[in-house]
Amino acid sequence: MLGKPKYHHSFIGKEKVGFSKSYHLEWDPDLGDDAAQIVLNIDVRSSAVPGEEVADEIFDALKNNFFQDLEKDPYTRFEQSLKMMNDIVKEKESQYGMKFLPNINVIVAIITGGTLYLSQHGDAEAYLVRKRHVSILSEGLHDSSTMGKEMFANVASGGIIPGDRLIYSTARLYRYVTKMDLAKVFSDHNVGTAISELANLLSMEVSDKISVSVVEMVAVEESGTVAEIPDEVSKRVVTEGLYSKFSRTFADNKVLNFISGKISDLREILNKLMQKNSVLSEWKRLGRDKVLISLVLVVLVLIVGIYLVRNQGQKQKYIEDLEAKLEQVSTKINEAQTKGSYDKDAAAELLDEAETVAMEVLASGYLRGSASEYLNAVQEQRDYLDNVIRVADATLLADLSEKRSTVSALGIVPYNDSLYVYEYNGLYEIVLGEVKDPLTIDDEEVVISGAYFEDQDTILFYTQDGDIIEYNGTDFNFMDTSDGDFQLGVDTDPYSSKLYILDSAGEQIWKYYRERDSYGGAEAYVLSEDVDLSKAVSMAIDGSIWVLNSDGTILKLVSGSPEEYNLERAPLSGFEGADKIYTAFESNQVYVLDPANNSVLVFNKDSKDGDLVYSTKYVFEGLDNLRDIYVAQNENRMYLVTDTQVWYYSY
């Protein structure tokens, strides 16, 4: 019989930015069969996320809801608690206007009535140490269809026995320690010593802090004899995990379903027998029933024995084939690491091949943990080849929603030592991080693009109807053209004394000369029939005109004609979701904003031959709905605008 579980906790690794904590609610024997132990181990990797506030509220929801209606079964109460916790996270994300889930690793576990109920998110994992064997209990709980939408998607449950040791970690321990070492540490030592030994094993490998909670299941002495669980049975249960694959196969087979029912009947009969004062006398009284029981037992042993022998061999051979495939994956990843320094394309092909094989193993349902680790290794190597920098510490400069709750920002423009953010009809000045009350650009027009017009020292706005409005720091003025109306387009950018309008529908870039108080007529800039602007979404000018297409390609135009250039060391992952391109005359880089991947790609300009050389990809974790980018070269600072906020990152 299980007694009160013993709980231990420790942090392993270095201090870091963010919030980590293991919440623990003790076993309450007054609740009888409903006595429970609750553990929520959480790690929030970003200081921008209010980690402590979120963690406190979801733990309160967990403990309060789980004990609210004890008439319901524990599984139902656990699922309801997880739903409430998911709702709290969504509410907080809406409140703070940012995504929390990419920055959170969390595992939640409840033990009650001899059963463990478990769920997780992110890199957090749970392990079971039993009879010197280790299994990953949280394997398979990740659901890619809910990624980024819910913190907890699936639930694992299963029985536990005295002597079990449960490890809840906010990181994947197999990245740093082997399965054999983990089993040895927690089998050969008491829990306190085991945690210290684990810390020693991880100390040279871990570059970040890991929160580790360990729960030890203890037995309560009873007057009766407690049957020992055979060692071979224990090994099988540990190997198969909490929700045994054997049990699932057993339930799917019609013949074995019948046997399962007979086992239940036998269990009831044997329970009645054990309740009698004399087992032998009861056996004699059964008469023909004991013959039936004997026959059923013989049939059970034969069928189950044949089934296990036949399928175990097939399963073992299948697993060995999968292990061989993973060896191929490992070899290809190692080759890619070697070739990446001198042949990026060849390394990319090897990683694609490794990913395909690893995905096959993952889809098999076996060795999912190892396959997932290799897939992570593939992605890490791609990140290395692409010089991906994951930014979790961008700084919030201003929250525009404090001035207007319905704000939906479009872009950012530097002007008169300030930064101005505009939306469809509003303009927000930001001075030293403070947002001034918004100015109305126009009550009827809908702005779609804006830029600083250095030649006129104004901010220029381009509207959905094709109007040009200039702001001089005091007034908004509608500008005229000798044509009567400006051409319709998707983007605009001034350069020198001219204004350019990108017209993807007409596959043209229109050029207007700025006159004293108005603009001249439209002139076609593109002179070549070889230029395809049908997919153009954005442009930037530094003397040449760089045009970004919706398929992730970049066109370079000089004097109205396409100029061939090489894109060297092109990124392995495309940027088809990109919708903004930025550069300036004095800038040595071209920047591409890819909101679909929360990223900014940086390309260096080769001054000798006009080529672009891919440099870096910044991935801004937790920043969603990116709308625009401005780079202050003299500050080495990148400003990013979301729909409601302005952030900056110093590089």
pLDDT digits (tens, 9 = 90+) for 190-205: 998 999 888 888 766 6
Closest CA to 144 of 424, 331, 403, 359: 359
DSSP 318-353: HHHHHHHHHHHHHHHHHHHHHHTTT-HHHHHHHHHH
Strands 468-471 and 458-463, by their bridges, are antiparallel
Predicted local distance difference test score (pLDDT) of residue 263? 52
Assigned token pair, 501: 């309008």
| Contact yes or no for 646/413 (Cβ under 8 A) | no
User: Rounded to the nearest 5°, which phi and psi values hold at 50?
Assistant: -75, 75
**What distance in Å separates the CA atoms of residue 364 and residue 253, rounded to the nearest whole number?**
20
* Cβ-based neighbours of 106, under 8 Å, separated by 6 or more: 40, 41, 42, 43, 120, 121, 122, 124, 151, 170
**270 versus 410: which is more confidently predicted?**
410
How does pLDDT run across 510-557, given as a tens digit for each residue? Answer: 999 999 999 999 999 998 888 999 999 999 999 999 999 999 999 999
State the sign of the Cα–Cα–Cα–Cα dihedral 221, 222, 223, 224: negative
Predicted local distance difference test score (pLDDT) of residue 465? 95
Sort 27 into a burial class: Cβ within 10 Å, 0-12 / 13-18 / 19+. Answer: middle
| Contact yes or no for 17/43 (Cβ under 8 A) | no
Full 3-state SS string of 596-624: HHCEEEEEEECCCCCCEEEEEEEEECCCC
**What distance in Å separates the CA atoms of residue 230 and residue 102, rounded to the nearest whole number?**
43
**220 versus 482: which is more confidently predicted?**
482
**261 versus 452: which is more confidently predicted?**
452
**What distance in Å separates the CA atoms of residue 76 and residue 346, rounded to the nearest whole number?**
51
Predicted local distance difference test score (pLDDT) of residue 225? 40
Instruction: Please state the pTM of the whole predicted model.
Output: 0.55
Predicted local distance difference test score (pLDDT) of residue 501? 98
**What distance in Å separates the CA atoms of residue 391 and residue 193, rounded to the nearest whole number?**
37
**What distance in Å separates the CA atoms of residue 627 and residue 637, rounded to the nearest whole number?**
17
Segment 340-348 shows an average pLDDT of 89
**What distance in Å separates the CA atoms of residue 455 and residue 514, rounded to the nearest whole number?**
9
Name the residue with tokens 């495939």.
Answer: 325
**What distance in Å separates the CA atoms of residue 513 and residue 495, rounded to the nearest whole number?**
10
How does pLDDT run across 213-223, given as a tens digit for each residue? Answer: 999 988 765 44
Domains, the chain, in order of start with CATH, read 6-236 (3.60.40.10), 244-385 (no CATH), 391-650 (2.130.10.10)
3-class DSSP state for residue 459? strand
Provide the pLDDT confidence category of residue 158 given band limits of 50, 70 and 90: confident
Assigned token pair, 593: 């904003």
Sort 103 into a burial class: Cβ within 10 Å, 0-12 / 13-18 / 19+. Answer: buried
Predicted local distance difference test score (pLDDT) of residue 287? 56
pLDDT score of 397 more than 50: yes
**What distance in Å separates the CA atoms of residue 212 and residue 198, rounded to the nearest whole number?**
10
**What distance in Å separates the CA atoms of residue 133 and residue 136, rounded to the nearest whole number?**
10
**What distance in Å separates the CA atoms of residue 502 and residue 446, rounded to the nearest whole number?**
17
Predicted local distance difference test score (pLDDT) of residue 48? 79
pLDDT score of 255 more than 50: no
Task: Give whole-number Cα distances, 409 to 424, 433, 502, in Å.
Answer: 8, 16, 21
Name the residue with tokens 């005091």.
Answer: 474
How does pLDDT run across 5-36, given as a tens digit for each residue? Answer: 889 999 888 766 788 999 999 866 666 556 88
Predicted local distance difference test score (pLDDT) of residue 220? 67
How does pLDDT run across 65-100, given as a tens digit for each residue? Answer: 888 888 888 999 999 999 999 999 998 888 888 888
Predicted local distance difference test score (pLDDT) of residue 167? 95
Task: Give whole-number Cα distances, 88 to 45, 147, 170, in Å.
Answer: 19, 17, 20
Distance of CA 83 to the CA centre of its chain: 19
| Contact yes or no for 412/397 (Cβ under 8 A) | no
**What distance in Å separates the CA atoms of residue 584 and residue 587, rounded to the nearest whole number?**
5
Closest CA to 138 of 157, 151, 159: 157
pLDDT score of 177 more than 50: yes
Average predicted confidence (pLDDT) for the chain? 84
pLDDT score of 146 more than 90: no
Residue type, 148: G
Predicted local distance difference test score (pLDDT) of residue 229? 37
User: Rounded to the nearest 5°, which phi and psi values hold at 617?
Assistant: -125, 115
Rounded to the nearest 10 degrees, the angle between the axes of helix 51-66 and helix 74-96 is 150
Segment 431-443 shows an average pLDDT of 94
